[in-house]
C-alpha cells in the first residue's frame, strides 16, 4: 500500500531539504497487518495534533474511529477551538487570595479590531506568563506602551520584554508581516528581544521562513523568538521544538521499520 495522504498536509519540498533520502521514500510501503495499521494511525494522530496545539481529542468519534489524516485533522481542530474558548472564559490568576478572571480584568485590554482567535490567544499567553514563567501581574502591561518605547505591544513584561500575537488573517503575506513588525521595533525601541506567538498551523507552514528571520535578525543583535501553543500542557513552546517533534514523526512515517 502506498500512503499518499501525507502530501496533502506537508510541504514535500521542505521535507526533501530535511532529508538526504529520495523524495519517493517519504511515502512508505508496508504490509497491512493489524500492528502496522495501528502504528500508522498513531503516527497520523501525532502529526495532525502538531497543527492544532498538540491536542488529543480522546472523546471525539473521529479521533477514536478515524483512519485518515482528514479524520484526525478535523477532530484536532474542533478540540483546539474548544480548548481555547474554555481557556478564554475561565483562565484566572490569584492575587492576595482573590481569584481574578483574566478576560474580565480591566487591565486586559482588547482592541475593537481584534478577532476572537487573537483575544483567546492573548489570554492563554497571559495565563502562561503568570503560571509557568512566574511573572507578577503588577509587572505586566496589556496593549500599553512601556516607559522607554513608543511601540504598543500586545503584552509587555517588566517594561523590556514585548510579546506580539500574530494570527495573520487578512494581514497579507505572513513573512512580510513579521519583517514589518520587527522593523517597527528596531526603529522605535531599544528592545533586544521580541517574542512572537503564532498559531501552530502557521508555525509548520511557515517554519522555514520564520527560522530564517530568526537567524538573520540574530546577526543584527536582535533576538526574535517564535513561539506557538501547547494546549496539551497549557504552555508555549518554541517553533524549533515543534519542528523537531513534527519531523521525528514524519521520519517514523516514512521509515522502513514496518513489520
What tens digit of pLDDT does each residue of 208-245 get? Answer: 999 999 999 999 999 999 999 999 999 999 999 999 99
Across residues 193-213, what is the average pLDDT? 95
Residue 9 has pLDDT above 70, yes or no: no
pLDDT band at 30 (very low <50, low <70, confident <90, very high): low
Residues in the chain, overall count: 259
Quote the radius of gyration of the chain (alpha carbons, Å).
Answer: 20
What tens digit of pLDDT does each residue of 103-115 get? Answer: 999 999 998 889 9
Residue 7 confidence (pLDDT): 42
Which residue has cell 511601540?
Answer: 151
Alpha carbons 53 and 1: distance in angstroms, whole number = 30
Across residues 72-84, what is the average pLDDT? 97
Angle at 257 between CA 253 and CA 259, to 5 degrees: 110
How many CB atoms are closer than 10 A to CB 189?
A: 19
Residue 112 confidence (pLDDT): 86
Residue 19 confidence (pLDDT): 46
pLDDT band at 24 (very low <50, low <70, confident <90, very high): very low
Domain ranges across the chain: 5-84+242-254, 111-239
Domain 111-239 class in CATH: alpha beta
pTM summary value: 0.86
Report residue 215 as a C-alpha cell. Answer: 537567524
Amino acid at each position: 500500500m502506498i500512503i499518499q495522504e501525507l502530501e496533502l498536509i506537508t510541504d514535500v519540498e521542505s521535507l526533501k531539504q530535511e532529508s538526504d533520502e529520495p523524495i519517493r521514500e517519504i511515502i512508505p510501503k508496508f504490509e497491512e497487518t493489524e500492528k502496522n495499521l495501528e502504528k500508522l494511525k498513531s503516527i497520523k494522530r501525532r502529526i495532525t495534533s502538531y497543527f492544532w496545539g498538540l491536542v488529543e481529542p480522546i472523546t471525539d468519534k473521529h479521533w477514536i474511529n478515524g483512519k485518515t489524516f482528514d479524520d484526525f485533522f478535523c477532530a484536532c481542530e474542533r478540540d483546539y477551538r474548544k480548548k481555547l474558548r474554555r481557556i478564554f472564559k475561565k483562565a484566572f490568576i490569584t492575587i492576595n487570595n482573590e481569584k481574578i478572571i483574566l478576560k474580565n480584568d480591566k487591565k486586559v485590554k482588547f482592541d475593537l479590531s481584534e478577532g476572537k482567535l487573537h483575544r483567546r490567544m492573548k489570554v492563554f499567553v497571559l495565563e502562561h506568563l503568570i503560571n509557568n514563567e512566574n511573572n507578577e501581574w503588577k509587572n505586566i502591561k496589556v496593549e500599553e506602551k512601556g516607559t522607554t518605547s513608543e511601540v504598543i505591544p500586545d503584552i509587555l513584561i517588566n517594561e523590556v520584554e514585548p510579546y506580539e500575537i500574530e494570527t495573520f488573517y487578512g494581514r497579507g503575506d505572513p513573512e512580510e508581516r513579521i519583517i514589518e513588525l520587527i522593523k517597527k521595533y528596531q526603529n522605535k525601541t531599544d528592545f533586544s528581544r521580541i517574542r512572537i506567538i503564532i498559531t501552530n498551523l502557521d508555525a509548520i507552514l511557515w517554519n522555514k521562513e520564520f527560522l530564517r528571520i530568526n537567524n538573520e535578525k540574530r546577526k543584527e543583535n536582535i533576538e526574535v523568538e517564535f513561539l506557538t501553543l501547547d494546549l496539551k500542557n497549557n504552555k508555549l513552546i518554541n517553533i524549533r521544538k515543534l519542528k523537531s517533534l513534527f519531523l521525528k514523526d514524519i521520519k517514523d512515517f516514512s521509515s522502513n521499520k514496518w513489520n
